[in-house]
Amino acid sequence: MIDPSWQEGRHKEACEVRLKEIQRLAKIYCWEEVEWQENISMLSFVKQGARINVYVTRMTVATCINHPQKGRTQLFRKQVDVNLMAKIFRNPRVHTKRGYQKK
């Protein structure tokens, strides 16, 4: 049987690695880190009126943008990998065929 504390430690390490990679990508694309909510593992960035919220444990990304016809919208993408994360930071409006939208 696996020691639960070992598993928890591995999970924490994985999250820390993800956090650093997300922060690195955000910096490359000039996003400003504005918030870290540890209780839900959410890291938030802003740039030119847009916001990106990254839920680190599930690797779900919410982009909050002002849509030309629909107004303020949120687009959620689940199970985002590093390549897709880079595309989202480059252009938060990018179409990925794997998201869902909330108004």
Of 3-7, 32-36, 53-57, minimum mean pLDDT range = 3-7
pTM over 0.75: yes
pLDDT at 100: 54
In this structure, the dihedral spanned by the alpha carbons of residues 103, 39, 52 and 32, taken in order and rounded to 10 degrees, is 140
pLDDT at 99: 62
> Which amino acid does the sequence have at 63?
T
> Strand ranges (DSSP E) for 8-58?
32-37, 42-47, 50-55
Q: Is the pLDDT of residue 28 over 70?
A: yes
